[in-house]
Amino acid sequence: MRVIKRIKWAGWVALILFSAVTLGAIYHLVSPEIEASSGTNQITEKEEKRQDFSEDASLNVRTETKETNTYTMSISMPTLKSKSLDTPIKEWIEQQKSVFIEEVERNNAVLSADNLAYLTIDLKVETAGELYSLLFTSYQYVGKGQPTQVFKTFTVNMRTGESVQLHDIIHLNDQTSGTIRTLIKDQLMGREEWKDYVREDVLNEKLSDLDDLKWSVNKQALDIFFDQYEVAAGSVGGIEMKIPLEALRSYLNPTLLNNAQLEHMTSIEKSQLDPNGKYIALTFDDGPSPKVTPRILQTLKQHGAKATFFMLGKQVETYPQIAAQVANDGHEIANHSYGHPKLTKMTSQEMIKEMSEANTKIEMATGIEPVLFRPPYGAYNSDVVHYAKMNDYSMILWSVDSLDWKSRNSAAINDIVTNNVTNGSIVLMHDIHASTAEALPELLVKLKAEGYQFVTVSELLMLQNENGAGPHFGHVS
């Protein structure tokens, strides 16, 4: 006798729903393993903040990240209105990705969760007048051997949308070309970490046509890049060097640079300061602050005083209008890092990221790319000095510490500064403490009565015939 009973319609519905839920649960439990074994890729994308460079052109940057069980990718991808640049950039990125994937497939047997391949393409944007240079740095590791570093540069006139070559900004006659070749060779052969590894015959060949160089331009320098292994042993890594625009001044195309660069280079030279005068550089760290910085700006304006503001990138990001007001009032803008870490505790890459991020935020808010920086806490070592040299920064410390951060007392601030200042001093203060804003009016009156004038750090360094990376401290009493 059969005991199987006929199931009614409602029962079938319940059975089907139960089976679907059960199968779904089983699928979700095993699907990660199925994905891992089949190499399914997880792709995520995020849009970064849009940067508008002019009324006619903009740069939209997004970062594409991709993770699998054998490799990771992180690629910064710009989209330009300039099709003459947008297309070759996309083609180069796709070529980098294609070569990387081929190598990953070839080395699949040695790749694992403990030995992941990676491709990282970073983007840095530099400006000079109407020119915008895009520097891509590709870091690649394919599971064996050493990671490699490759550069690619593109420069565009953002007003016209046209791609720009080196001969467009520099008159490349025989004399100019010879000067640039000499400057490049002197740097490569003069640096301790490079000179014994450079293959001079290969370098000479690379320099035969300067238009083939990888380069970018900013307000201070023409930057030259060589890939890892391109002109030196692989242990050197990628090579980045800077040629100050001052060294190329007579060869530059002022029309293309819209004269902005030449004016920047000569602005300090035109200063009519009496070399026999008494000068002090007032400096303010850690701002801008919405409550304190405007008060300090008002006091400085009332006394006709100029100062140098060492800004934090995160503060500028939060209060860009105040940062812009500091610049509009004619004060000097300088870099104090993004988040105020001790640079001596960071790796070189961490330090570069920290300072570059601050520079980007400051330039976006003020339109000024800083050439001075002050390491947080005044802490520096050989790595920090090397960073300053490589990036054409002047590292600024101080000779008089107002201790406003400690006393938070206006009378104490005035006593310390007036008792320790001398001609040529660099005075450390902070535009984040209300007591500093309270102390400043009386301090300026006292110092002016003693014959002091208030200048920017750059003006003071020029008067003292000091240049280069430093560190620069100013004079003590």
The torsion angles phi and psi of 283, rounded to 5 degrees, stand at -130, 145
The torsion angles phi and psi of 232, rounded to 5 degrees, stand at -150, 170
Beta strand 425-430 with 278-285: parallel, antiparallel or unpaired? parallel
Active site residue 285: yes
Q: Which residues are bridge partners to 118 per DSSP?
A: 72, 141
331, 430, 433, 472: the catalytic one is: 430
> Which single residue is written with the structure tokens 């104090």?
336
Closest to 462 measured CA to CA, from 326, 323, 325, 265: 265
Q: Please, what sign has the CA dihedral across residues 88, 93, 99, 105? A: negative
The runs of H, that is alpha helices, within 58-169 are 83-106, 166-169
Classify residue 32 as exposed, middle or buried by CB count within 10 Å of its CB (0-12, 13-18, 19+).
Answer: exposed
Active site residue 56: no
Please work out, in degrees rounded to the nearest 5, the angle formed at the alpha carbon of residue 70 by the alpha carbons of 98 and 78: 45
223, 227, 264, 285: the catalytic one is: 285
Closest to 447 measured CA to CA, from 395, 397, 400: 400
DSSP state letter for 306: -
In 101-245, which ranges are E strands? 117-128, 131-141, 148-157, 162-163, 214-217, 221-226, 239-244
| CA 293/CA 296 separation, integer angstroms | 5
**Residue numbers annotated as active site:** 285, 430
